[in-house]
Every structure is written in C-alpha cells, then in structure tokens.
Structure 1
Amino acid sequence: MKIHDVTQGTLEWHVLRSSHFTASEAPAMMGASKYMTRAELLRQKKTGLSPEVTPAKQELFDRGHAAEEAAREILAARIGEDLYPVTCSRGNLLASLDGMDMAEKVLFEHKLWNEKLAAQVRAEQLEAHYYWQLEQQLLVTGADKVIFVCSDGTEEHFVSMDYYAVPGRAEALAAGWEQFAADLEEQEAPAAKPVEKIGRAPEMLPAIHVEVTGMVKHSNLDQFRTLALEAIKNINTDLQDDQDFADAEKTMKWCTDVETRLSATKSHIMGQAQDIDAVIRTLDEVNEEARQVRLRLDRLVKNRKQEIRDKIVLDANDAFRKHLADLEASFGGRVRMPAVGIDVAGAIKGKKTITSLRDSADAELARAKVDASTIATSIKNNLATLNDLAEGYDFLFHDIQQLVLKDGEDLQAVISHRINEHKELEAKKLSEQLAASQPVAAAVVQTAAATEAAAVQPVKQQPPADDGQRIKLGDINSTLGFTVTAEFLRSLGFDAVDRKGNAVLYRSSDWPRICGALVQHINSVATQKAAA
C-alpha cells in the first residue's frame, strides 16, 4: 500500500483520482451503482470529464462531509482509537478513506443517514452498491475490517456494522477492473450523453371548413388535402435511433387526431346534405391515408424495436462466445472452458430507450466476461500445479477436465493422494515379486558348488507393448528403497526412452521386467557369493 500526501477534495486529489480506478467507482464498474452505469463510467474515464455538481448536490455533499466528521469523533470515542482520513493506492487501484487507525488494521466508511440504508446496516446485509467500495478499500489497504457507519452526525441517528472481506469478492473485483481497463483501451471518444428524445409530428393541419346548403357552398378541402397528403408522404418510416422512435410515436398520435377530425367533419356534412359525393371522397381519401400510415407506423415501431433488441442480445452473446474461445485457446488445447452464464435478455428487460438497452447489455456482458476470466485464471493455475506436482504421472490424471475446476488446495490433495497410492501399489508388487523369488534363491545357493559364477546377463524376456506411460528413475529408486543407476539398468537390458529436464524416463510397462531382472541379478550375486 502506498499512502499519498494529498488532502481529499483538493485539485491534487482530483488529479490523482483521474489516473486511478477508485473505490467509489467500483460499484459502477461492477454494474451495481444506483447513480452511474458502467457505460457512463467508461465515458467519464475516457474523456476525463465529470458531471457538473449542481448547487443542490453540493449542499448534499457538504451535509455529508459535516456528518462524516462528527461521526468520526463518535466512532473514535467508542473504539478508543483515533481515526485519520487517508488516500492510498495499490497499483492502479485507489481508495480515499474516511478514516484509518494508526495500526492500519481498522477502516472507517461513512454514509449520510437514510432509513433504508440504516435498516441494511442493522441487518448487516449491505447491497452491492455499497459493499464493492468496501471490498476495494480492504484490498488496497490489507486492513482487517471496515466499520461502516450510517449517520447524520448525531448519537441518535448512528448505526454501524463491521464489514469483513467476503471470499471471492476481491478476486471478482480485480478481474472486473482488468476487464474494465481492456474495455477502456478499446473505447472510442464518446458522444455527449443523449438527452431524452421528444417526438415531433407533422405540422398541425388547418381546420376543415365546409358549408353546404344542399350543395357545397364553401370549403377549404383542396388546401387541406394538399397539405395533409404532403405531410403524410414526408413521414419518416426508417427507424434507427431513439429520436426516430419518439417521432414515430408522436406521429401516430397525430394520425389519430387527423382521423378523428375528419370523421367529425364527415358526420357534420352528412347532417347538412344528403349527396355531397366529392366532399365525402376527399375526406375518405385523407382519412384512409392517415389511418394506413398510423397502422404501418404502429407495426413498424413494434417490429423495429424488437429487431434492435434482438440485435443487441445477439451481438452481446456473440462477443461473449468470442471471449470464451480466446480464453480456451490460452489453455493450449489441454482442457475446455466450462459453461459460464450470461443473461443479456434478462438484463435489458424493462428498458425503453436504445441507450438504456445498450448500456444494460454492455454491463451484463462485462459481468459475464469477468466471471469467465476469473474461472480461466483458476484453470491456468491448476494446470501449472499439475505440471509441477504430477510430472511423469500424466497417466493418473485422465480426468484433467474435471480436476482443473477444483479449488487449488483440493487439487493438490488429489495429486498427492493419487501419486502416493500409485507408489504404494508399485512397492507392493515389487515386494510380492521379491518374496516369490526367495525359494528360487535358496535353491540356487544349495547347488552353488555345481554352478560357475556368471556375469550378469541382460533380460531376454519379450518386452510388452509400450502403452506410452513413463516412470522416472528417481521414482524407481524411491519405490525400491535403494538406488540404481541408469548405467546399471542398461546393463540389465533397459535403456532410457526419454529425458525431461534432469529426469531419466523409462517405460512404465517395463516395470515388472525390471523387478524380475533385479531379482535375477540378486540371485546371481548370491550364487557367486555362496560358491566363493
């Protein structure tokens, strides 16, 4: 941990924050913030531009800081330890602490009083919006705990809880920032945050005026018809962004209004005369055009929205599949990535605008990538463990796909158990073979006088088929309980088949023949000794 000599709230502090990933940004990075989306944080980090602080928000900040100072004094008196505001970092992670004790073991984090948060503190069940900040503080400092306080600076409204790091969260947080950094590198300079779109409909058509006295006496239908059909013709039906959809929905309301007015005018005319065919045809023509456009736009809006939602989901899922493929490629073909969950469709449920759809999909994609990367890191560590601890014993670990998904300590225990069990089994076989050879040795000794001492001869047995499994010379010696050299084994007819580093490797299938050759050699030596 590195402690920075800056005062919180100063220009130097803001500059320091801009070059680090801060604890207060952790909830947004993890997609859990109530106030900022992950996409908004990406835009902010890319541009260096922060939202403007309004007078109302500044007043809230000031109240929070005042309550924090008072709460720090209350807490210090309760625990009997002084607490000091500290800004510290570890790598590219930063934490601005409301307080830390001199031993750097206890941290203090304060939030302004509200009943909902106070209830969470009493129940000791914080939302992710809060606990990701605490996890980063503990990760950066290495402290034992954070005393999380919700208060207004008074004893009457003061609740607290001890927060300890939850297993797995620190790893998820680190993986989350790693993925965020990768996304930030690829992020293009973003456009300004879009404002809420307000739809535009065609200009209001003039009021229809028709006067009849058995015949049409006066009307402005020709002007109305020209304006209406021109407006309808210019309606946009190519829907791409939020503005287009807002315009379309406003236009549908406009079409409905035109239809209503035309219907009312038609009824008015019919009440004045019986046979006004030209007027009725004009009204019907414009009315039908407006109705058809409204119906077409209604279908188009629904279909286009669904198309966009589908594309956002498919694009996110495709990006996730590519991420999984890249992770799997890093395993060198030894194992595959397990299934990792992603629910983009669920993440965008209830979202209305294209911007919110994309932001929610991006956040879910980032979350799933972090989960997958965390699993991949564990698999790589387990593969390294197998390489280190199970070298030469690959034949004992055909279930490697399942083994690499285990906890690291569990995997080490499995490796140790299987190798020890294998060695015990081989030692038992050798013991049985040596025991079986004893009667033979006794008979040889009894007839030693009739036997000339002979040099050791290589074993002439037909070697069994090579099954590809290998045993190290060191393991042969460990199993035998005494040392033989590669040169000695060569004299018995067994050549090494490979080397791996300093290890000399033999066929595992030759083990029974090696034991037999050793027995034969021992018997031969015993015979020579007896004859002497």
Structure 2
Amino acid sequence: MNITITNRVTHDCAQGSDAWHALRAKHFTASEASAMLGVSKYQTRADLIKRKATGLAEEVDAGTQRRFDAGHAAEAAARPIVESHLGDDLYPITMTADVNGLPLLASMDGLTMLGDTGWETKLLNQDLRADVEAGTLHEHYTVQMEQQLMVSGADRIYFTTTDGTPENTFGVWYESNPALRERIVAGWAQFAKDVAAYVPEPETVKPAGKAPDALPALRIEVTGMVTASNLAAFREHALAVFGGIKTDLQTDADFADAERTVKWCKEVEDRLDAAKQHALSQTASIDDLFRTIDAIKEEARQKRLTLDKLVKAEKENRKSEIVAQARKAFADHWSALCRRVGGEWIPAVGVSYFADAIKGLKSLDSMRDKASTALAHAKIEANAVADRIDANRKTVEDMSLMPDFAQVCTKATDDFAALYAMRKQQRADAEAKRLEAEREKIRREEEAKARAEAERIAQAERDRIRAEEQAKVLEASAAERIRLRAEAEAREQAMQADAAKRAADLKAMAGALPEPPPQFAQPQADTGAKITLGQINQRLSPIALSVAGLAQLGIQPAGKERAAVLYLESDVARICSVLIRHLTTVARGEIKEAA
C-alpha cells in the first residue's frame, strides 16, 4: 500500500481543553485507533462508530475520572524521570495530518524538540509492567503509538508504565511496524465508510427477565400419618402457574423471561425435594403425599427443560442470524470489489470466520460487536487485496506476459513487479535470440547466395571457355571439311578426267571393232505349263521383274491363281531374250551418253 502523508500541523491547544476536544471530534485520533481495529481494552468498534457518527459521547463517571486524574498525576511526576533517562526535554503536543486523504490526529505525552523521539505513558498496573519487561505490548498500545509516529513523523517512541516514582517506572522502545501502519490506514478508510453508512438504532433497555409469581409455602406435618398439609391447594396453584408460563419466545423480553423462569423452575424442584426430605424425616412412608410432590416436581422439571431448550435454541438462532447477516454483508462487499477488479480473484473469508469471531460470547450485544468488528477486518483485508490487484494490473503493459494473472494478481506489489519484470526480460531475451537467429539465417542465406553467384560466375566462365574451345573445334572442323571437300573435288575432277579418258578409249575401241549381233535363245514349244511371277524372279535373281515391267517388255500374263500372276512356262525363254536385248540397248545408250 502506498501511504501519502501531507499537511502535518502542530496545534496550539492544551490537551483536555474545549479546543482540543473540538479538534478531536473532527479527526480520527490515535487513542481511538485500537477501538477502530477492534483491539481496544475499553471500547467496542460499534460504540466508536456511533460516537463518531452522532457526536454523542458517554459522560465520564466519577470512577473513570479518578483513573484519568491518577494517570495525569503519574504522567506529570514521571516526565522529569523519563527526560533524565532520555537526556532530552519532552513537550506534550497535539498534531494532525492528512494520510491518504484521511484526517488523523495524535496527542502525544511528549515529543523532543527535534521531533525524532516521542513518549507515551500509562498508569502502572502489574500486567502491563510484565508486558513491558517482556517487550511484548498488546496491540491496544502499539496501534496508538504507530499512528502517533505516522502523524508526527517521529522515528521511535519510549513507552512507559509508571506511578510517578523512579523505582516504579518501566519502559520499552517502540519503532514503526509498516504492516501495522498499513492496517491502520486501511482500517480508518473502512471505518469512514461505516460511519457514513451508520443508521441509528433505537435505544433498548436490556430486559432483566422475571420469573412467575412465587408459589405459596408448602406446609406438611406428619406423625406417622399426614396430620396437616396444604398440598392440594399448592398443587392446584402450581399447575396454574406452570400452565401460564410462555413458551413462544419472540422478543428480547420473552427471551430474558425464559432464562429467568428456567432458574425459577429449578428452585421449585429444589424446594419440593426439601419438603419431601422434611416429610421423610417425620415418617417412613406416605405414598399419596410423595406421589403428589413428585407430580408437582415433574411438572416443574418438564417446564424447566422445555424452557431451557427453547432458550438455547433461540440463542443459536440469534447467533446464526448475526453470523448470516455478517456473511451477507461481506459477500455483498466482496462481489462489489470483484466487479471493480474485473474477476473473482479476491480470497473470501472461510465459512467459520464469523462464527469463530463470536465463539464463547454469551450476550447478543457482544456477539453483534465482535461480528461487526470481524466484518470490518474482513472488508479491510479484501480492500487491501483489491488495491493490490489494481496496482499490479497497472504494472502490466502487456497482459500476454501474465496468462496466470488470476493466480498471481494478489502477490505483494514488489513481488508482482519483480515477476513481471522477469517475464518481460525473458521475452526480451527470447526476442533477442530470435532476432539473432534470424540475422544468422539471413547471413547464411546471403553467404549461400554469394557462393551461388560465385559459382554462377565461375560456371559462366567455364561455359565461355568451353564455348570458345568448341568454337575453335568447330572452326577447325569447318577448315577440315573445306580441305576434305577440296580434296574430294580434286579427286572427282581426276576421276572425271580418267572417266573421260576411258570413254575416249572405249569409243576408239568401239569404232575399231564391229558390233556382234545379239544372240537370243530359241523359243520353247508351248506345252501349256504355267509358272508364277515369283518363280520367274527366283530364276532371274538377283533381277526382279513386275507385272507392269513385263507388260512394257511385251510379255502378258497367262492368268491368275488367287493372288499369284501366272505366265506360260514357254515365255521364260522369250522373257530372257527380251531382257538381253533391252540391257544391250541400255548399255549402248550409256556408252553414247558417256561419249
């Protein structure tokens, strides 16, 4: 909790004066702080709320005033003793300050001129002396001194209990407790709300309770037999009284009457037992007398037991009602805080919290006060948690860093800030690693690109060299082809010249020798035998003839057998003769053409 203290003012008014009382009425005082937190030895929180809300204060009775006077006298007598012990002068002082907007006041028994050391004293009693010597003061005192330190700005307070004599002055140092200071500030904040919401309740006088009218005295005299008794009249009257006892308890008066009647019934039982014992002391056995007494006693006993159960049940009902009201008030407050912080992250009080607060108490007023005080404490704690959640949420700039906010939002603000800073740093480190990895990836990619580019350039150079080499090879091949073509042309020319020479030689030879007449085979006699074109080609192989070719030579088919073309067997010789003549003609034509 952040505590802001402003407007510290020292007031020039004597403690106990009208001006001092008027100033206290406008502020929350250090002496009231223990009652506000419900730890006062002398005043309840409910009474303090009523007094602050209405401005009414109980009058100081003579006994209380005597205690005040004795305390003031002991304070005055102890002042020089304490000043001597501290080695500094002490001045009574009244100061006010605004603490988180709350008007607080502290009246101190003494403060040094430098304002760094204070003094608070209480009238000597042996229990307080034991606490001082043990160094363990009750919160009734430490709460008051913590507010005094907060308002005055002092560093420490010397607390004493004394009767004004050196030998009976006992002291202990008190220094600030930050946790208690936060409780006080939060407590006054809740107290201010409770004062503003205060609704006066009509004053009621606590019923004293009354028992039924007394029964008449039971008189029995026996001398071996009952000689005198008003038992019949006593019984009739007793039963009438028992029948008139109210068992439907509604009001506080009914409740008090029932408690008193339970005690009265027990007294009736005891008196009947005494009468019975008195009769027994006078005679051995008077059956009718005893049966009557037992019947009256049983009636009283049953009425007592019934009322006792009703009283206990009603007490439990009232206790349950007080607890239920406190639980509902806290539940409403808790729900409002949860809506404020945006989630049900504020711990709720335990089921038995308010029941434990009133455990062992007998009066309804004390139960109500303790339940109210416990409710205030629960609200104060819930408010503190809600404030922590608000403060922690404001710390978070990036909620994605706190996916478990619901689980950690109630941590102390310093712890939460440290956790958030750690996660923020972890993310920053992870982001730095990611960026470094990305830069490394880019660097590797650039290196790969550079290597690829270098390889591309090298490959291009190799391709250029290979192309140049191939060009040289092609150029050499072309030159070789030109050379070979030239050589071929030269050979061709030589061959043509040689062919021309041979043709001339053949021509010369042809002109010198007569051409022999062609010799043809004699035609065979036609026997009617036939032969296929395929068979003719087999005989003439490697010369192959066709039907069309033979037709040009003047040889016609003699028929067909399926797909085979048939010729006369006798035509074979004629075919050969025609071929020879044709070939000779062709040969002569070539010689002439060559010439």
Q: TM-score, normalised by structure 1?
A: 0.74
Amino acid across the alignment from 1:427: A
Deviations 1:482-525 (A, max 9, x none): xxxxxxxxxxxxxxxxxxxxxxxxxxxxxxxxxxxxxxxxxxxx
Is 1:138 the counterpart of 2:149? The answer is yes
Is structure 2 residue 406 aligned with structure 1 residue 401? yes
Q: Structure 1 residue 285: deviation in Å?
A: 5.9
Asked whether 1:55 is paired with 2:62, we answer yes
1:11 alignment partner, one of 18, 28, 34:
18
Please tell me the residue identity of whatever aligns with 1:417: M
Deviations 1:445-490 (A, max 9, x none): 6749x99xxxxxxxxxxxxxxxxxxxxxxxxxxxxxxxxxxxxxxx
1:127 CA displacement: 0.8
1:45 alignment partner, one of 47, 52, 71: 52
Q: Distance in 1 between matches of 2:278 and 2:422?
A: 96
**Superposition pairs of residues 419-498 of structure 1, within 5 angstroms:** 419-442=424-447, 444=449, 447=453
CA 1:283–1:184: 2 relative to 1, 3 Å: same
Count, aligned residues:
443
Q: 1:237 to 1:159 in 2, by over 3 A?
A: same
Alignment CA distance shift 1:340-1:247 (3 Å):
closer
Which residue matches 2:312?
A: 302
The one of 289, 297, 302 aligned to 2:299: 289
TM alignment of 1:255-270, pairs within 5 A: 255-261=265-271
- Secondary structure in 2 matching 1:108: strand
Instruction: Spell out, residue by residue over 1:344-378, the C-alpha distance to the aligned partner (whole angstroms, 9 max, x if none).
Output: 22222221112122222222222222222222211
Which shifted more, 354-363 or 214-223?
A: 214-223
- Partner in structure 2 of residue 116 of structure 1: 127
Identify the residue that residue 506 of structure 1 maps to in structure 2.
none
Contact kept in structure 2, 1:215 and 1:273, CA below 8 Å: no
Q: Does 1:77 align with 2:88?
A: no
Candidates 331, 345, 350, aligned match of 1:336:
345
Preserved contact between residue 121 and residue 159 of structure 1 (Cα < 8 Å): yes
Match of 2:140 among 129, 145, 149: 129
**In 2: Cα distance, 1:346 partner to 1:178 partner:** 25
Pairing of 1:220-235 with structure 2 (within 5 A): 224-225=234-235, 227-235=237-245
Distance apart, 1:176 and its partner CA: 1.1
Which of 323, 326, 334 is equivalent to 2:333?
Answer: 323
Q: CA deviation at 1:32?
A: 0.9
| Alpha-carbon contact 2:226-2:286 (below 8 Å) kept | no
Q: Residue by residue, what CA displacement relative to the aligned partner does 1:135-186 show, whole Å, maximum 9, x if unpaired? A: 1111222221112122222221222222111121111111111222222222
Q: Distance in 1 between matches of 2:222 and 2:419?
A: 99
Query: Displacement, 1:24?
Result: 0.6
Secondary structure of the structure 2 residue equivalent to 1:14: helix
Q: What residue number does 2:42 align with?
A: 35
- Report SS of the residue matched to 2:337: helix
Deviation at 1:18, TM superposition (A): 1.9
Q: What secondary structure sits across from 1:199 in the alignment?
A: coil
**CA distance in structure 1 between the partners assigned to 2:443 and 2:267 by the alignment:** 110
Q: Give the structure 2 partner of residue 415 of structure 1.
A: 420
Q: Separation in 2 of the partners of 1:110 and 1:265?
A: 61
Asked which structure has the greater CA Rg, the reply is 2
**In 1, are the aligned partners of 2:89 and 2:112 still within 8 Å (CA)?**
yes
Where does residue 214 of structure 2 map in the other structure? 204
Retained in 2: the 8 A contact 1:146–1:164? yes
Post-superposition offset of 1:101:
1.9
Amino acid at match of 1:150: T
* Equivalent-residue separation in structure 1 for 2:341 and 2:87 (angstroms): 52
User: How far is 1:401 from its partner?
Assistant: 2.1
Task: Say if 1:139 and 1:193 are closer, same or farther in 2 by CA, change over 3 A.
Answer: farther
For 2:386 and 2:214, how far apart are their aligned partners in 1? 61
Change in Cα spacing, 1:28 to 1:216, as seen in structure 2 (3 Å) is same
Change in 2 beyond 3 A, CA 1:64/1:275:
closer
3-state SS in 2 of match to 1:153: coil
Is the counterpart of residue 93 in structure 1 residue 93 in structure 2? no
Note the alpha carbon deviations across 1:293-313, whole angstroms, 9 max, x for none: 122112212222222223322
Q: What amino acid maps onto 1:337 in structure 2?
A: I
Is 1:23–1:95's contact at 8 Å kept on the other side of the alignment? yes
Match of 2:258 in 1: 248
Residue 172 of structure 1 aligns with which residue? 183
Contact 1:208/1:221 (<8 A) preserved:
yes
Give the CA deviation at 1:133. 0.4
CA contact (8 A) 1:340 1:371 kept: no
Verify the 8 A CA contact 1:242 1:354 in the aligned structure 2. no
CA distance 1:262–1:63, change in 2 (3 Å): closer
Given candidates 358, 380, 386, the residue that maps to 2:368 is: 358
Q: Evaluate the alpha carbon distance shift between residue 13 and residue 268 of structure 1 in structure 2; reply closer, same or farther with a 3 A threshold.
A: closer
Distance 1:213 1:149 in 2: 75
2: CA distance, partners of 1:269 / 1:108? 73
Structure-2 residue corresponding to 1:462: none
C-alpha deviation, 1:96, in angstroms: 0.9
Q: Deviations along 1:291-339, whole A, 9 cap, x unmatched?
A: 3212211221222222222332233233223322222111123x61134
State the superposition RMSD in angstroms. Answer: 3.3
The residue that corresponds to 1:374 in the other structure is 384
- Other structure's SS at 2:167 match: coil
Gaps of 5+ in 1: 452-532
Distance 1:246 1:235 in 2: 13
Contact 1:210 1:216 in 2 (8 A): yes
Give the Cα–Cα distance (whole angstroms) in 1 for the partners of residues 224 and 86 of structure 2.
97
TM-score by length of 2: 0.67
Cα pair distance change 1:365/1:212, threshold 3 Å: same
State the SS of the aligned residue for 2:178.
coil
Distance in 2 (alpha carbons) for counterparts of 1:75 and 1:105 = 15
User: Match of 2:347, SS?
Assistant: coil
1:223-242 superposed Cα distances (whole Å, 9 cap, x missing partner): 54554333223322233566
Render the CA deviation track for 1:169-213: whole Å, top value 9, x for unaligned. Answer: 111111111222222222222444755x54311111222457899
**Secondary structure of 2:341's match?**
coil
| Contact map agreement 2:330 2:378 (CA 8 A) in 1 | yes
Residue in 1 that maps onto 2:162: 151
SS in 2 for 1:168: helix
Deviation, 1:265, is 6.0
CA drift of 1:429 comes to 1.9
The code of the aligned residue for 1:294 comes to R
Percent sequence identity over matched residues? 44
Report SS of the residue matched to 1:330.
helix
What SS does structure 2 have at the residue aligned with 1:156?
helix
SS at match of 2:166: coil
User: Displacement, 1:11?
Assistant: 1.4
Are the equivalent residues in 2 in contact too, given 1:150–1:158 (CA < 8 A)?
yes
CA displacement 1:110-144 (0-9 Å, x = unmatched): 11122322222233221111101011111222221
